[in-house]
Amino acid sequence: MLTVRRRWLAATAGLAAGGGMRSRQTLAQAPFPSRPVRVIVPAGAGSGPDTAMRLLADRLAALWGKPVVVDNRGGGSGNVGAGAAARAEPDGHVLLFSQASPLVLNQHLTRSMPFDPARDLTPVTLLMCTPFVLAARPGLGVRSLAELAAWAREARGGLTFATGGATSLPRFAGEQLARGLGIRLTNVPYGVSPQALQDTIAGRTDLVIDGTPLITPQLRAGLLSPVAITSATRFPGLEAVPAAAETLPGFEMGGWFALLGPGGMPAALAERIAADAARVLAVPDLRDRLLHEFGAIVSADGPAALAALMERERASLGRLVRELEVPIE
């Protein structure tokens, strides 16, 4: 009786596995796109991510010959929109345009995630990277990481750095810089980045770290002094600002935006969409607009590179959250 039951279970498991394989093969071979494509953006209309995705959507629609509709799903620090994408059919007609936090950080800060980023989403391609700039109040007299380290070691009191939030990526980038330099910096989190910026300009905090669109105008106006940029090399338009890697070899950390599909998307389909995204992003005028309006460098490397990036940053940010004892909600 047990032998018969085992044979029956093995047979039904084989049928289920075969059905799943055929389903993925069918998805991979189905024409794409066969109808409008919906791209979920886990941010509100008019936000930076929304505007950037709409630029891409127009180009993809022209390439695909089908409408590409942006679906704004804000809330939950990006978890609401990413969770909605995770529950969609993996046929490529629902995609996710997400910044890094819902994919590599939120799971370390939230007790109950509505989805598992590693299991429920399929990496398609990294689209663009947005480094952070560390800048100092004018009176601090610091213009490099080496000078910052020397000042911090000689100072009797601790230095403060302002960010837009205690669980924002710029906060963790600032903490990583401090650890790399072997100094102590105290984070002063604000509810919004502009307030962090203004308080540093006013001298109430010593440093501020945020994206290039927010910091660059203040550097050019002489209201802040540049210390470092967190890209691997110097950044276009900010060539006078040292890259952090010049002092801390190998250091690179910043925000980024990626395109993903629901879990179970066939590899061939993910590769096809990644190749189309890379083709769109190769157009010089779009690359220039993303650089000047969003401080973003285009980087379309495909599914494998995105999967490796997510795994790497998920591990490193998890360690940092634990070491800093960041409260989990």
Do 240 and 152 lie in one domain? The reply is yes
How many domains does the structure of the chain reveal? 2
Note whether residue 28 is domain-resident.
no
What is the signed CA dihedral for 245, 251, 255, 260, rounded to 10 degrees? 130
Do 84 and 218 lie in one domain? The reply is no
* Interval 104-160: pLDDT, tens: 999 999 988 989 999 999 999 999 999 999 999 989 999 999 999 999 988 766 899
Do 142 and 237 lie in one domain? The reply is yes
Q: Of 195, 229, 246, at which residue does a domain stop?
A: 246
Do 55 and 195 lie in one domain? The reply is no
* CA 44 to centroid of chain Cα atoms: 16
Assign residue 123 the CATH number of its domain: 3.40.190.150
Tell the residue number behind the tokens 């490099």, with chain if given. 144
Q: Of 222, 246, 270, at which residue does a domain stop?
A: 246
Domain span at 209: 131-246
The burial of 151, by beta-carbon neighbours within 10 Å (0-12 exposed, 13-18 middle, 19 or more buried), is given as middle
Assign residue 196 the CATH number of its domain: 3.40.190.10
Do 98 and 236 lie in one domain? The reply is no
How many CB atoms within 10 Å of residue 74? 16
31 residue type, one letter: P
Helices (H), the chain: 2-29, 48-64, 79-86, 117-120, 145-154, 169-181, 193-201, 212-220, 267-281, 284-294, 303-324
Note whether residue 176 is domain-resident.
yes
Note the pLDDT of residue 289.
93
Note the pLDDT of residue 274.
97
Tell the residue number behind the tokens 């886990």, with chain if given. 42
Do 68 and 158 lie in one domain? The reply is no
* Interval 217-254: pLDDT, tens: 999 999 999 999 999 999 999 999 999 999 999 999 99
Q: Of 196, 219, 246, at which residue does a domain stop?
A: 246
pLDDT band at 7 (very low <50, low <70, confident <90, very high): very low
Query: How does 306-325 read in b/e, with b if 16+ C-beta sit within 10 Å?
Result: bbebbeebbeebeebbeeee
Note whether residue 145 is domain-resident.
yes
Q: How many helices (H) and strands (E) does the chain have?
A: 11, 10
Do 76 and 126 lie in one domain? The reply is yes
Do 122 and 264 lie in one domain? The reply is yes
